[in-house]
């Protein structure tokens, strides 16, 4: 793990892999870097917390950076508002950790910002002291490229662009957050899709209780959607290059900001599939399950995943009555007990919860399909890409694969409600159908997410 330092300490410095380079930065940059390009990454809390989807995307990006370490130097700044020293960036780059800020203060700042027409995100994730620290690091590091990861880190983009007007600025947006909040405004009555809970709970029990009122949730999310949309347009206008994960959102951004350089974010990963056939073969560590196994993966603390879990629970009564063979294996942290109780009523043979699983190889190898019951989604569902990387077809809603190279009957199947879910599961119980779809999933991954197909795109985005 790279050594972390605070730029707000009594004797601030910039540390690369444990060595203090502050003096060298000021006196002899050319000698220190030996002609290397310098990439400054300003990251958000999503990168350092246990978020499987985010880590999957960044694992590919970091693998690309590692492959270029002979040519580039990287400094990563963690802009988290709360202390967290675990980073998926590992030893790929040094880490500068900024001072901790309490959630209650961030929440109060967010609510106060509403008076000035600012989105809640601004108050939750922006800190003036952090902005000064980032500017200090940028001045000392003198980067050729600055990468802002997500809209949260992008809140610091304008000040860096003013400070370094000739430096290439790249903005990584997972999705258009405003679209996500627009969807939440329509689903506020469901209760599960409520990230507003986290803000209000940090302020007072009274405000937390009020935040559960569907009418207030709709108003809050509609407000956030409108204000975030303005911020997204401004950031896209100011960034040299902006990336999004879904083709439709790239097209929409180009319509909203004519002339902007907006591209699809590459997802670089290695295929783990054993060709197109998922039956047992020499060297495999696990046999495919004798009955159709469906993997359901998610960080159940996030709003869209909790809503997906609620969607699945709503179909439990119909699944109980179904005479088709199936077993659902659910993975991930933070599953609410109420949901687990509902799904457990299917019986031990049909449902099991495994919590956080650090090594997914055995479970993915034994599974037949990945089940993706999401209703609220923007961007690209990384869990679908990960399933395809294992040669695993997906059984999904339309929202689960919107904007992705999905074809019903080629690399998976689609459902809309309990009736169509059970009908699809009946068709997918045929082993020969599974093998054919597994072949389609493997080919889809190779054609769209293979290493060779993405490295040139990364280079173009970074201008390296």
Most confident of 196-205, 281-290, 343-352: 343-352
Predicted confidence band at 351 (pLDDT cuts at 50, 70, 90)? very high
Q: Which residues contact 63 (CB under 8 A, 6 or more apart)?
A: 268, 451
Q: Which residues contact 124 (CB under 8 A, 6 or more apart)?
A: 81, 106, 107, 109, 110, 152, 199
Determine the pLDDT at residue 341: 96
Least confident window among 133-147, 187-201, 215-229, 400-414:
187-201
What count of residues does the chain have? 464
Distances in Å between the Cα of 223 and the Cα atoms of 106, 117, 128 are: 19, 9, 24
Predicted confidence band at 214 (pLDDT cuts at 50, 70, 90)? confident
Query: What pTM was computed for the model?
Result: 0.69
Determine the pLDDT at residue 12: 32
Do the Cβ atoms of 389 and 56 come closer than 8 Å? no
Of residues 125, 122, 105, 102, the one with CA closest to residue 113:
122
Of residues 328, 356, 355, the one with CA closest to residue 342:
328
What is the average per-residue pLDDT within 133-144?
86
> How much is the CA Rg of the chain, to the nearest whole Å?
23
What is the average per-residue pLDDT within 288-304?
88
Distances in Å between the Cα of 122 and the Cα atoms of 127, 186, 220, 244 are: 9, 22, 14, 20
What is the average per-residue pLDDT within 283-307?
80
Better-scored residue on pLDDT, 100 or 266: 266
Structure tokens at 332: 């991930």
Determine the pLDDT at residue 106: 59
Distances in Å between the Cα of 145 and the Cα atoms of 69, 123, 169 are: 15, 27, 6
Of residues 43, 9, 63, 102, the one with CA closest to residue 266:
63
What kind and span of H or E run contains 177?
A: helix 177-187
Per DSSP, the residues of 178-223 read HHHHHHHHHHGGGSSS-THHHHHHTT-HHHHHHTT-HHHHHHHHHH
**Phi and psi angles of residue 124, each rounded to the nearest 5 degrees, phi first:** -70, -35
Question: Is residue 303 pLDDT above 70, yes or no?
Answer: yes
Q: Number of C-alpha atoms within 13 angstroms, CB side, residue 431?
A: 9
Question: Is residue 8 pLDDT above 60, yes or no?
Answer: no
Question: Is residue 257 pLDDT above 90, yes or no?
Answer: yes
DSSP 91: G
Determine the pLDDT at residue 15: 36
Question: Is residue 237 pLDDT above 50, yes or no?
Answer: yes
Better-scored residue on pLDDT, 109 or 193: 109
Least confident window among 42-56, 234-248, 281-295:
42-56
Determine the pLDDT at residue 274: 64
CA angle 398, 345, 368 (to 5 degrees): 45
Determine the pLDDT at residue 454: 83
Q: Give me the helix-helix angle, 214-238 and 177-187, nearest 10°.
A: 170
Compute the distance between CA of residue 448 and CA of residue 269 in angstroms, rounded to an integer. 10
Least confident window among 187-196, 198-207, 388-397, 446-455:
187-196
What is the average per-residue pLDDT within 375-391?
83
Least confident window among 195-204, 214-223, 427-436:
195-204
Predicted confidence band at 254 (pLDDT cuts at 50, 70, 90)? very high
Determine the pLDDT at residue 187: 67
Predicted confidence band at 361 (pLDDT cuts at 50, 70, 90)? confident
The overall longest dimension of the chain from CA atoms, in Å, is: 74
Question: Is residue 282 pLDDT above 80, yes or no?
Answer: no
Strand partners, 351: 328
| 140 three-state secondary structure | helix
Predicted confidence band at 185 (pLDDT cuts at 50, 70, 90)? confident
Determine the pLDDT at residue 346: 96
Distances in Å between the Cα of 328 and the Cα atoms of 84, 262, 411, 425 are: 33, 39, 19, 11
Determine the pLDDT at residue 279: 42
């Amino acid at each position: 793990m790279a050594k972390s330092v605070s730029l707000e300490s009594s004797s601030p410095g910039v540390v690369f892999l444990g060595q203090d380079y502050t003096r060298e930065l000021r006196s002899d940059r050319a000698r220190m870097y030996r002609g290397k390009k310098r990439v400054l990454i300003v990251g958000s809390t999503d990168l350092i917390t246990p978020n499987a989807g985010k880590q999957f995307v960044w694992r590919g990006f970091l693998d690309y950076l590692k492959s270029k370490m002979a040519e580039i130097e990287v400094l990563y700044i963690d802009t988290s508002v709360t202390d967290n020293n675990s980073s998926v960036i590992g030893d790929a780059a040094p880490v500068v950790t900024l001072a901790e800020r309490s959630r209650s203060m961030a929440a109060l700042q967010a609510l106060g910002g509403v008076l000035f027409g600012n989105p809640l995100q601004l108050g939750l994730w922006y800190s003036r002291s952090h902005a000064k620290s980032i500017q200090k690091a940028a001045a000392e590091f003198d980067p050729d490229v600055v990468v802002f990861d997500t809209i949260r880190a992008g809140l610091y983009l304008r000040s860096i662009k003013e400070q370094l007007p000739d430096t290439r600025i790249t903005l990584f947006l997972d999705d258009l957050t405003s679209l996500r909040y627009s969807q939440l405004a329509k689903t506020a009555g469901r209760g599960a899709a409520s990230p507003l809970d986290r803000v209000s709970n940090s302020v007072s029990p009274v405000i937390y209780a009020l935040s559960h009122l569907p009418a207030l949730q709709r108003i809050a999310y509609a407000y956030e959607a409108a204000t975030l949309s303005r911020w997204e347009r401004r950031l896209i206008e100011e960034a040299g290059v902006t990336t999004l994960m879904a083709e439709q959102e790239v097209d929409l951004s180009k319509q909203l900001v004519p002339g902007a350089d907006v591209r699809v974010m590459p997802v670089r990963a290695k295929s783990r599939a054993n060709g197109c056939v998922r039956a047992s073969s020499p060297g495999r560590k696990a046999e495919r399950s004798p009955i159709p196994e469906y993997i359901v993966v998610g960080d159940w603390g996030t709003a869209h995943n909790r809503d997906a879990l609620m969607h699945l629970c709503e179909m439990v009564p119909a699944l109980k009555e179904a005479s088709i063979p199936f077993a659902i294996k659910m993975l991930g942290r933070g599953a609410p007990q109420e949901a687990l109780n509902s799904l457990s009523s299917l019986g031990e043979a049909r449902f099991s919860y495994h919590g956080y699983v650090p090594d997914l190889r055995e479970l993915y190898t034994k599974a037949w399909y990945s089940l993706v019951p999401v209703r609220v989604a923007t961007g690209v569902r990384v869990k679908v890409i990960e399933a395809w990387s294992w040669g695993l077809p997906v059984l999904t809603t339309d929202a689960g694969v919107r904007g992705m190279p999905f074809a019903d009957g080629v690399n998976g199947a689609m459902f809309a409600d309990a009736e169509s879910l059970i009908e699809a599961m009946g068709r997918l119980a045929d082993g020969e159908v599974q093998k054919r779809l597994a072949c389609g999933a493997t080919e889809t991954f190779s054609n769209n997410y293979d290493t060779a197909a993405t490295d040139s795109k990364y280079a173009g985005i970074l201008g390296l």
